[in-house]
Structure 1
């Protein structure tokens, strides 16, 4: 999803939505060039198995304009890899209606990555095609996968045309400079398939995924958007924007064609609803249920809310957990507690760029990433939860105990572990205790005020 303030500005020039059945013949020269790029790009790079470590959301809303962002990311990739990041999620990379100022969520030409002069610029807000492909290559050489942000629900920037489905003129004539994926009235809603659609977002032209023509260009054709992103540009996986706007089979069809890690933005705090979408789409989902419960717990000062339902408790292998993102980007005092929570619990945790690079203590975040990658295995048992205290155990090998404290006092608690007559230590530096567990596994641990401690074997 995206910030509505920008969409309100863009929507003023896009009053209606629709498209046309006929495909314009794409430029043979452009397609031949794309084929050559596809054959040569990233043929010998290595890519991490996404989901085993931690993902970085490598942008925030309104990153600096001027075409420098791909270079900014590329320069940080080696350090992120050393910290334990295995994937980076980047913003929508192709040319959008707002050209050099767009964050990419108003897509116009899916095949223009900063090399065609249209929509007011040649480069995108983030840079050129060359810079993007250099960044992807650097990520691969550092064993980091690159997750593309894919906007399939809507388009923006079409020219005005007579629309037979509305009887008016609508901005639905899409003739991209790349010569690929021409769209017009019959390819959007309303059309001969649907009179309207619940997926309309912000007044933008709403793609009709039931049309074979649209399906062919999005994922079926040899030079479809999906295959171009994967084979030509070198992307490894997909973050699907605003998946409430279209049916789950669309994501299934895309991944059936090109594979790769996939996660959907289904913005809903109900864990059962998220689980249903995951089951239907086959993809992972951002755990908005976890996000809202953490807000209740750490901003609302009630850690008992961490006992509530979340996607990671239902589908741990399909839950992508996060503390904040480009749409929320809030700061609150309990954020480090929230990161301690997602880094020690099941799910695939995501770090937000500004939290990591600007707002929070990078050393502490790196420590939590290390703990996640080296200690946080196995199922989860909640050992204690009340308004001020929360204790949970990961049951893997070696596993861990995490102790969260939202009170203004230092706390101690006896807890049951899976370690017997073993010396354990606290791995965040928030305690210098090295207690030995009893023969029955019980041990006393401590936690500072308004902080966390994480315990495991030596």
Structure 2
């Protein structure tokens, strides 16, 4: 029977499309990393929700100056994504007082990403605006979210002006080259609204977030800092610097207006205080309580400290755990043990750039990232803790048991599991045992000296 003409035409189009698809070549990781921004899709297919895997802090203090950092990070994105990273946290990206030498924590022009000649340079320490946009596009093409470091407590680099609120002169005249968010004495403390807020930092001019003008420019206006970062630059979330310096409602208002993942740097080792902040801000917080307990445990050789109060135990969905960052003192003893702890417990773990790329065993960190992403589900139960040994289990499916040994000799111990009559193995490769759990779930596990094992079903 003869087919209608329009059906023949449709069949030809389908066949032609199929042939064209077969000829398409998927770019390699190295090719993808070098694609210009215009060649990278703006869509983000399959991008994991921030917090479901592991975040990379993609910088350290005093990364090399010279404007190459954005390109350095961009080249690593495919490998990080393949390792199981779901988000990268970048340093403050806009122009600061020290121009090409600044790490960004002395912000001057929130809308200059390395495209205006001011503060002694056009590019920032990290590179140009186009290089940053290319990095963000490549990150999205690799299913990575990009977290912006936001510094809104204080500013730096303003010119001197007569200040009617102090009776003298202050460096509060901000006239940025972008022409966006001009600031003067009335926008800082003290002013006609009040003398101060939660806290100033380092003698820098302290922004007054109670001012409607400041709120509009930071998050409310259609061309506010928050909306420009999100809609023009493509950032997916926020790391708020020094949130002790202003009230939690500021972060709450920001994320209510623009959304996105948010985490605050509330530098306090008290888990209850951190819980108060996350409840009032609506954001996550870095778990400094966990950081200090790990430091006490591994530096002080007392793993019972790991039983103490931490944010992840109070609010696991709001806790961002970490072993090191650009500001903290180092955990020198048992640093890999600390990573084994955060990768097997609740919270959203962060890997520090220098730990991953320079200082520690990348293969071992990748192994821990894989274990976190594939095995570490459900609530946490601590099974044993003493000076040298710590054992905990995750109660999800399949779940895991982590055995940390801070002593100088091999250890073994009987523990209760959620697996009954099943073969289990150590997914770190530190033990070759493959024991079968008893009918009641008990099993004997081992761990080498100064090491860890992580057990789950085969």
Deviation at 1:189, TM superposition (A): 0.1
2:26 aligned partner: none
Q: After superposition, where does 1:137-156 map in structure 2 within 5 Å?
A: 137-156=137-156
The answer to whether the 8 A contact 1:41-1:233 is kept is no
CA distance in 1, matches of 2:262, 2:197: 24
Q: After superposition, where does 1:104-123 map in structure 2 within 5 Å?
A: 104-123=104-123
CA distance in 1, matches of 2:99, 2:189: 24
1:26 aligned partner: none
Deviation at 1:116, TM superposition (A): 0.1
Whether 1:88 and 2:88 are equivalent positions in the alignment is yes
Tell me: higher relative CO, structure 1 or 2? Use CA pairs within 8 A at least 6 residues apart. 1
SS at match of 1:205: coil
CA distance in 2, matches of 1:197, 1:367: 45
Whether 1:367 and 2:402 are equivalent positions in the alignment is no
CA distance in 1, matches of 2:146, 2:224: 19
CA distance in 2, matches of 1:232, 1:131: 14
1:18 aligned partner: none
1:350 aligned partner: 350
Which shifted more, 196-205 or 172-181? 196-205
- Of structures 1 and 2, the larger Rg is shown by 2
Deviation at 1:300, TM superposition (A): 1.3
CA distance in 2, matches of 1:45, 1:176: 33
Q: After superposition, where does 1:169-184 map in structure 2 within 5 Å?
A: 169-184=169-184
Q: After superposition, where does 1:144-293 map in structure 2 within 5 Å?
A: 144-293=144-293
1:100 aligned partner: 100
2:380 aligned partner: 380
1:454 aligned partner: 454
SS at match of 1:176: coil
Deviation at 1:193, TM superposition (A): 1.1
SS at match of 1:206: coil
2:65 aligned partner: 65
CA distance in 2, matches of 1:325, 1:276: 23
CA distance in 1, matches of 2:203, 2:234: 32
Which stretches of structure 1, 4 residues or more, deviate above 3 A after TM superposition?
Answer: 40-43
CA distance in 2, matches of 1:243, 1:231: 24
2:336 aligned partner: 336
The answer to whether the 8 A contact 2:40-2:138 is kept is no
The answer to whether the 8 A contact 1:41-1:232 is kept is no
1:52 aligned partner: 52
The answer to whether the 8 A contact 1:54-1:84 is kept is yes
SS at match of 2:186: coil
The answer to whether the 8 A contact 1:381-1:392 is kept is yes
For structure 2, list consecutive stretches of 5 or more residues without a partner in the other structure. Answer: 1-38
For structure 1, list consecutive stretches of 5 or more residues without a partner in the other structure. Answer: 1-39
CA distance in 2, matches of 1:411, 1:44: 50
CA distance in 2, matches of 1:409, 1:398: 30
TM-score, normalised to structure 2, is 0.90
CA distance in 1, matches of 2:40, 2:449: 52
Deviation at 1:328, TM superposition (A): 1.4
1:412 aligned partner: 412
The answer to whether the 8 A contact 1:190-1:197 is kept is no
